[in-house]
Chains A and B, each alone.
Chain A
């Protein structure tokens, strides 16, 4: 998908139609529990609606949306009770029913659950850089601008996050055997 600059003003309905799945999945990747995804996706679009006029059409749209998701998710995780609930709920949410899916889809779904579980090993600030770069394909300069950090910090966070992600994948795979 080409995330090209826009010539006309943003329309919320079009934005939602085209990008709600992206926001939904960004929140998942930022650790929002399945049971909270509807509420937080709603909150993101309430914020987006309020700031539609501030979007700079010369910039890519999805990182702008990710910024709202990141801030909402950050606040979400600051709530202590969420952090306490996190481990148990996440384990339940990550379970994949093998009888519910054909083999190919089951394998893909298990891979996705592995990714989400491994992402949980990464601090949220580093995870944002990792997700934006490795999954969304956002250039590092754009990521640094979005997060308000020096670009060298963004590179550093990516390096650490990669190491953490790889270690978590290895650990999770060992525990599956």
Chain B
């Protein structure tokens, strides 16, 4: 990457930045993040999806995996830690290509961190206009509040308190009518309904979910939960 309009960086600073370019990430932390993104509960029927991630992750980071690596259930983060001690550099190599006729790379407005990326018309005026358009979704602070509430619901469900989990899920629905984590909430609520024996409601809610979000990453967990109804 050389830009004729940019002077070469001081070599000492460039070496420092090269070191940062090779920074890794704690795989056990990423493992937890992934589970929160796609799995309402660690022990849900969708755990197989998580395992799929681990397999994929191992496949791409497997060099040097120690014999001490182990898998307990779906949790492999600690076991694969050694595999990512020397992660591949993140540096991107660009291949020049013609600009698309209608590029739609998002112009980033920090005013609305979670708004859908606006289309880029190619003019700075249009960019300024599009990046300043009103929010269509909740800000990140709301997302944080949603996350915190659903973490409580998840914890209640994990501890066997389905009624409390359902109550918190319903609170989430009331507080966040345009929720960003609505699919996660529904997955928790349906599993809570199953847990407390309200099977007909669980089936009905699962059917609505299946219809409204047929490609949801949470659907396998919901299907597994409904399938477990005696």
Contacts and interface: CB of A to CB of B under 8 A. Distances in A.
- Do the two chains bind? yes
Interface of A: 1-5, 12-14, 16-18, 20-22, 24-25, 28-29, 37-39, 41-43, 45-47, 49-51, 54, 56, 58-60, 62-64, 67, 70-72, 74-76, 79, 108, 111-112, 114-116, 124-125, 128, 133-140, 142, 145-150, 155, 158, 162, 165-166, 169
Contacts of B115: 71
A148 B107 CA distance: 4
A137 B107 contact: no
B19 to A, nearest CB: 4
Interface in B102-129: 103-110, 112-118, 120, 124, 127-128
Interface stretch (B87-95, B159-167, B170-178, B191-199): B87-95
Contacts of B128: 148
Contact of A3 (B15, B94, B107, B131): B94
30 contacts: A1-B89, A5-B97, A13-B52, A13-B53, A13-B56, A16-B53, A17-B60, A24-B25, A24-B30, A25-B20, A41-B33, A43-B147, A54-B106, A56-B100, A67-B106, A71-B140, A74-B113, A79-B141, A111-B15, A114-B16, A115-B19, A115-B20, A135-B21, A135-B91, A138-B94, A140-B6, A145-B120, A146-B106, A146-B108, A148-B131
A17 to B, nearest CB: 5
A28 B141 contact: no
B116 to A, nearest CB: 6
Contacts of A142: 94, 105
A70 to B, nearest CB: 5
The 9 A-B residue pairs whose C-beta atoms are closest, nearest first, are A148-B107, A71-B113, A74-B110, A75-B140, A111-B19, A21-B25, A75-B113, A24-B25, A115-B20
Contacts of A60: 92, 94
B110 A125 contact: yes
Given A47-B114, A76-B140, A136-B90, A42 B19 contact: no
Nearest to A110: B19
A2 to B, nearest CB: 5
Contact of A22 (B10, B90, B103, B147): B90
Q: A125, A135, A142 — which one has the most chain B CB atoms within 10 A of its CB?
A: A135
A45 B37 contact: yes
A67 B94 contact: no
A111 B29 contact: no
A135 to B, nearest CB: 5
B37 A71 contact: no
A108 B19 contact: yes
Given A17-B57, A136-B90, A137-B92, A46 B38 contact: no
A144 to B, nearest CB: 9
Contacts of A139: 1, 3, 94
Given A21-B30, A75-B139, A148 B56 contact: no
A115 B6 contact: no
Nearest to B118: A148
A166 B13 CA distance: 7
Contacts of B107: 145-148
B49 A59 contact: no
B32 interface: yes
Interface in B177-230: 180-181, 217
Contact of B5 (A13, A75, A140, A162): A140
Nearest to A111: B19
B71 to A, nearest CB: 17
